[in-house]
Amino acid sequence: MTDSTLRPIADIADPQWEAIAAIPIVDDGMPLHALSLAAPALRVHPIYHALGVSGAVPECWAREAVYRRLLMVARSLPEGLGLVVLDAWRPYVVQRHFYDTLLRMVETRYADLDESDLRAMTRAFVSPPSDQPECPSPHLTGGAVDVALCDDDGMLLEMGSAFDEARPASHTVHFEHHAHDATTRTYRDRRRALYHTMWDAGFANLPSEWWHYSYGDQMWAWYRRESRAVFGPSSPDTLEKRWQRSLGLGD
């Protein structure tokens, strides 16, 4: 038993999206880095590409500050636990697909709810797609990451709900209130280890998803009480962009 598993996770306030969207962004210009280069300290499994999601990229890209903090987390977790990155920078087209798909399912399942409630339920698990400079989708910034825990052999550990599972058990603090046997206490302790190690490295957690953390985006700024976000919309470098820069053609 370690300190990070002994410390409960306090209830996390629900995000106030209007206030978050109003936080100014002053992008520091950090490029995206391929997280697979951090091996073997960090395990990377681009899950949406592996699942065949159209438009999903075969690499997990993140800003340098995120890259380095994830390495810090991987090296600070309790013995026997490893960090796996499942998703990071996400193209707009993929975000659009996820949001529209889940919204349609929620509308089908809860046909009696009004539009605002349906969209709120959807937003708890998928942010509305936006590539606007003043309020981009978190994953478009390169500051948001989806992570999980594994054992020394790289096997993903059970966390009490599957990654991307849209149900109450996915809320980060769920097992702080529903740990009634050895199995659920194990889920609780694993979430504690992940949460506290990520928080201590400077990340913020989306409370409806035990796997979603961010650094540098607007949600991070709101939870960490920063006056501004440092990451706006971004994208991996391309050969065309390098040629443009070398020829002085700008963007």
Would you give per-residue pLDDT tens digits along the chain (251 residues)?
A: 467 788 999 999 999 999 999 999 999 999 999 999 998 999 999 999 999 999 999 999 999 999 999 999 999 999 999 999 999 999 999 999 999 999 999 999 999 889 999 999 898 889 999 999 999 999 999 999 999 999 999 999 999 999 999 899 999 999 999 999 999 999 999 999 999 999 999 999 999 999 999 999 999 999 999 999 999 999 998 888 888 888 988 65
pLDDT at site 251: 56
Q: Rounded to whole angstroms, what are the CA distances from 204 to 109, 147, 209, 226, 251?
A: 31, 13, 11, 11, 32
- Spell out the domains of the chain, with CATH numbers in brackets: 3-246 (3.30.1380.10)
Q: Do the Cβ atoms of 35 and 168 come closer than 8 Å?
A: no
Beta carbons within 10 angstroms of residue 101's beta carbon? 12
Preceding amide of 40 cis, omega within 30: yes
| 196 is an annotated ligand-binding site residue | no
Q: What is the pTM of this model?
A: 0.93
Q: Do the Cβ atoms of 210 and 216 come closer than 8 Å?
A: no
Strand (E) or helix (H) holding 61:
strand 61-63
> By C-alpha distance, which of 61, 71, 58, 56 is closest to 32?
61
Distance, in Å, from the CA atom of 94 to the CA atom of 90, rounded to the nearest integer, reads 7
pLDDT at site 250: 67
Sign of CA dihedral 146, 157, 45, 167: negative
| 174 is an annotated ligand-binding site residue | no
Catalytic choice (115, 158, 176, 209): 209
Q: Is 115 a catalytic residue?
A: no
